[in-house]
Structure 1
Amino acid sequence: MRRFVCLLLLLAICLPSALAADAKDEPTGKLPLVAKEDFEGEQSDWEYLDPKSWKVVDQDGDRVLSQHVKASSYKPPFRSPFHVAVWHAPAVGDLELTARVRSTNPDYGGRDACLIFGYQDPAHYYYAHLGKRTDQIHNQIHIVDGADRRKITKTTNKGTPWDDQWHTVRVVRDVKSGDIKVYWDDQKEPVMTAVDKTFAWGRVGVGTFDDTADWDDIELRGVAPKIPVDRVDTPSVTPRF
C-alpha cells in the first residue's frame, strides 16, 4: 500500500511537468500571422493594376472582392497576368498565403485564378496559376523576372477542378530552401511545387490571368525580411539571393 501511495505521489509531481513540456515542444506548423482581410471594412490596403476590373460587392450578406471584368485595359510590361490586386500588407520572406476564391468565368479549358507572391513590381514577382487544364503555361508556377513569365514548376497535377463554388487555395514558401507549394481545398499534399530562390521577399496578392473571380477571407502568415524594406515597387531594389 505504501508503495502504491508513493507511486501516485510521484505521478502527481512528474506528469504535469511532462505534459507541459510536451505542449511547449509541440510545433504549431504555422508562421506568425501578418494580416487578415475579409473586405468588411474600408479597403485602403490594396493596389489594383487595372482598377476598373475590381470592386467590393455584397453577396448574401457577405462582402467580397470581385474581379469582375474579363477584358483588361492594363498592359503588363511582359507577358503575365492582366488582373492583379497587390495587398499592401507587410512584405515577407517565408510565407503562407491562404484565400477563398470562386471562379465566376464561364467554364473552359483555360479557366483560372492566380496567387501572387514575392511581388516587387509589375515586372518582378512569382505567381501560381491554377488552371483547369495543364500544359506548358496553364496550371503551373511561374516567375516574372524582367521578361515574359517563365514556368518554374517541379510538379503539378492534371488540372484544377473549377466549378461555381467557393474553394480554398494556399501557397507556402520557404525562402532558405526555395520550396514553393500550392494547395487546393483540404488536400494534404500540394497540387503544385517548385524550387526557386530568385526573390528573397516581396508582397502578395490575388488575381486571374484573363478571367474573372471573387475573393474573400485572405490571410497572410510570414516572416519579415532581415533587411529594411522601404519600398518594393522599384526594379533597382529587387531583392535577390
Structure 2
Amino acid sequence: MRRAFVWGWLVGLSSVVGGASVATAQVDSAQVDSAQADSAAMEVLVEEDFESGAERWQPTDAKKWRVDTEGEGNNKNHVYHLLGKSDYAPPHRSPHSISLLKDTIVGDFELTAKVKTLQTSRAHRDMCVFFGYQNPAQFYYVHLGERTDDHANQIFVVDKAPRIKISEKTNPGTPWKDDTWHDLKIVRRVSDGLIEIYFDDMDKPHMVAHDKRFAWGQVGLGSFDDLGLWDDVQLRGVRVKAAATPSP
C-alpha cells in the first residue's frame, strides 16, 4: 500500500526573520497517528530554565529577546525576557512577538511554564503561547489577555487568513497581577482536537477549544505586542520527525 504523506513546514531560524525562505518538510502520516497518545505515554522532550541561555529558541525578532537575571544572591535566576513588540510583520493579522522551540515537532503534548507580564495594566495586555505551528500563516495560539472580547483572551487559529477565535469556553479576563509569576499549562490531544488552557488553577481549564486542522507542529512563547518574562518551560509529548526533503 502506498504510504501517504502530510506536507507542512518545518520552520528554521532564517524562515521567521526578515523575509528569508522557509524550508519545506514532509511528515509521515503514520507518525501523526502515533503522535496521538494518552498522557502516560508522553515523554519529557524539553526542560528549559534558561540558565544556559536560549540557544534552543528561534525568535521572530532576535533583538527583542534576551536572557536576563532576576533576583539576587542565592535567589538569582535566569529568565527569557521579551522586551516589547517585535518588528516582525506576520503575513496575516496575528501576534508579532514569537520565539519558537527549534527542531521539536509534536502531536499530542502538554506544555507547562511560568510567565510574568511586565506590561502596565490595559485592556489587552497579554502573553501568548503558540502551538501546532506549521509556518508563519498556519498555527494555533492562546492569547492570555486582561479583558475578554472577540480578539482577546481566546484560543485562536491562523489558517492563511487573519486569526479567528475557536474558544468554546473562556472567562472574563486573565487575572494578571503585577510583578507576580503565574503557572501555565497547555494540553493538546489530536484525536478529538482538544485544546485546554490552565492558568494558576491546574485542575480547572481557563479556556477550552476543539479543532483538528493542525495535527502537529512547533510550540513557542511570546505576546501579541507586549513585554514579559518566561521561565521553567517543560514540554511533554510525542515527537513527530520531519523526513529529509528530497533533492529537486
TM-score, structure 1 length as denominator?
0.80
More helix by percentage? 1
Kindly tell me: are residues 28 and 206 of structure 1, through their superposed partners in 2, closer, same or farther at Cα, counting changes over 3 Å?
closer
28 and 173 in structure 1: CA distance in 2 versus 1, 3 angstrom threshold: closer
Matched residues in 2 for 1:52 and 1:117: separation?
23
The alpha-carbon distance between structure 1 residues 32 and 58, as it changes in their structure 2 partners (threshold 3 A), is same
Q: Mind listing any 5+ residue stretches in structure 1 that lack a counterpart?
A: 1-26, 233-241
1:33-44, aligned counterparts within 5 Å?
33-44=44-55
- 2:138 maps to which residue? 124
- SS state at 1:52 partner: helix
Partner Cα distance (1:113, 1:31) in 2: 26
Q: 1:146 to 1:231 in 2, by over 3 A?
A: farther
The 8 Å contact of residues 34 and 89 in structure 1, kept in 2 or not, is answered as no
Residue 28 of structure 1, CA deviation = 7.1
What is the correspondence of 1:126-141 to structure 2 with a 5 Å cutoff? Answer: 126-141=140-155
Aligned residue pair count = 203
Aligned to 2:35: none
TM-score by length of 2: 0.78
Q: Which runs of 5+ in 2 are unaligned?
A: 1-37
Alpha-carbon distance between aligned partners in 2 of 1:123 and 1:231, rounded to the nearest angstrom: 22
Distance 1:231 1:75 in 2: 29
Provide the residue aligned with 1:229 in structure 2: 242
Aligned counterpart in structure 2 of residue 59 of structure 1, from 52, 70, 85: 70
Give the one of 220, 225, 230 matched to 2:235.
Answer: 220
- In structure 2, the residue matched to 1:200 is 215
Mapped pair 1:48 → 2:59: yes
Shift of 1:111: 1.0
1:178: which partner in 2? 193
Structure showing greater radius of gyration is 1
> Cα 1:122–1:231, aligned 2, differ >3 Å: closer, same or farther?
farther
Q: Which residue of 2 aligns with 1:9?
A: none
Offset at residue 230 of structure 1 (A): 3.7
Deviations 1:39-59 (A, max 9, x none): 011422111001121110011
Letter in 1 for 2:206: V
* Aligned-partner Cα distance in 2 for 1:185–1:223: 25
Q: Residue 16 of structure 1 corresponds to which residue in structure 2? A: none
1:69 Cα shift? 2.1
What amino acid sits opposite 1:150 in the alignment?
I
**Residue from 79, 93, 112 that aligns with 1:79:** 93
Cα distance in 2, alignment partners of residues 191 and 223 from structure 1: 24
State the Cα distance separating 1:186 from its structure 2 match. 2.9
CA distance in 2, matches of 1:161, 1:149: 23
Q: CA 1:111–1:30 in structure 2 vs 1: closer, same or farther (change >3 Å)? A: farther
Residue by residue over 1:6-39, the C-alpha shift from the partner in whole angstroms, topping out at 9 and shown as x without a partner, is: xxxxxxxxxxxxxxxxxxxxx9757321111100
1:168 equivalent in structure 2: 183
Q: Give the C-alpha shift of residue 150 in structure 1.
A: 1.1
Distance 1:64 1:89 in 2: 21
* RMSD, aligned CA: 1.7
Report the identity percentage: 45
In the other structure, the counterpart of 1:11 is none
Moved over 2 A (4+): 27-31
CA distance in 2, matches of 1:168, 1:89: 25
Say whether the 8 Å CA contact 1:30–1:221 is kept in structure 2: no
